[in-house]
Structures are given as C-alpha cells and as structure tokens.
Amino acid sequence: MNKYLKRSKKLYLASPLGFSEAGRDFMYSKLIPLIEKAGYEILDPWKLTTQDLIKPIMNMPYGKERRKALQKMNFIIGKNNELAIVKSDGLVAILDGSDVDSGTASEIGYAVALHKPILGYRGDFRLSRDNEGSIVNLQVEYFTKKNKGMIVTSIEDFEKELKNVFG
C-alpha cells in the first residue's frame, strides 16, 4: 500500500484527566503528543463538543432552565463520545484515581462490546483493586484485556505497548 494512502489509526482517549488543570497538563503536554508521535490520531472527548455549546449553559443561573439545558447537553456529549468510540480503531483508558472513573469504565465497556482493543494506563501508585491478583477493579481489568488489550503502569511501558495493542 502506498504510504501516502495509508490512514493513521484513530484512538479514543477515555479519561477523567480533563476535569483538572494538572490532568489537562499531563494529557496535552505528555500523553497525547506521545501517542501522536507514535503515528496515531487521537479522538479526544474533551474536544468533541464545542465550547460554544457548553459555556453558555455553564454560565446560566442555577434553576430549572439550566437543569433542562444541562440534560440536553449531557445527551449531546454522550452521543458525540459514542460516535467517536464507534469510529475509533481502539481505546486508550486512563485508569488513575482511588477508583477507576465511572465514565472511563463505561467507555471501556462500550469499546469492548464493539471488539475494540484497549490499552489501559495506570501511573497512580495507590491501591485500587479487588485483590492482589489485579491492578484495578477486576471487571475493568478483565474487559480491558479481553480483546488483546493490556494495562501498563509506567509511561515508558505505555509508549512501548502502543504498537503491540493497536498495530
């Protein structure tokens, strides 16, 4: 195949990192550049829904109108994320935290149901597992590994394993 016709694989980034300034810094200064340098395109759920939609709603005063607007926005965000997972060739899941983020766990479940490979990254040294035989919640770990996926615990191993999981 002509190298100019070859499309880069798209990876959906499931993570709670966008919620904090420190998380966004790690995501946009280290993690995403590392993935892109390896030749993959990132489908970033934090950028799938425009701020033109989000900001006016977040600036609304508390009350019934804001709640209704948030419900509509939440559906749009969820749908945008669903479509990106469907369009992706695989999923990168950030598994840090005292427990795996519930949104990330949901995205893992959806991706595995679509038979997408998953590479999980847990750089957090806190214990977040059901027993000594797992790295995180045993169900999250099982589904992450189900379609030839894996979980790594260092950024160096993450970089090495990108090609092994996603080709």
pLDDT tens, position by position, 86-144: 999 999 999 998 899 999 999 999 999 999 999 999 998 888 888 888 899 999 999 99
pLDDT > 70: percent of the chain: 96
Please tell me the distance from the alpha carbon of residue 113 to that of residue 91, in angstroms, as a whole number: 12
The pLDDT, as a whole number, for residue 49 is 92
Q: Is residue 35 part of a domain?
A: yes
Q: Is residue 2 part of a domain?
A: no
Mean pLDDT value across residues 38-50: 95
pTM: 0.91
Please tell me the distance from the alpha carbon of residue 167 to that of residue 164, in angstroms, as a whole number: 6
Cβ contact 128:137 at 8 Å: yes
Q: Is residue 113 part of a domain?
A: yes
CATH number at residue 49: 3.40.50.450
* 77, pLDDT greater than 60: yes
Q: Is residue 93 part of a domain?
A: yes
The total number of structural domains in the chain stands at: 1
Per-residue confidence at 3, pLDDT binned at 50, 70, 90?
Answer: low
Q: How many CA atoms lie within 13 A of 121 on its CB side?
A: 25
* Full domain range(s) for residue 86: 10-130+142-166
Q: Is residue 88 part of a domain?
A: yes
**Inter-CA distances, 85 with 52, 120, 156, 164, Å:** 23, 15, 25, 20
Per-residue confidence at 145, pLDDT binned at 50, 70, 90?
Answer: very high
The pLDDT, as a whole number, for residue 22 is 95
Please tell me the distance from the alpha carbon of residue 85 to that of residue 116, in angstroms, as a whole number: 9
Per-residue confidence at 5, pLDDT binned at 50, 70, 90?
Answer: low
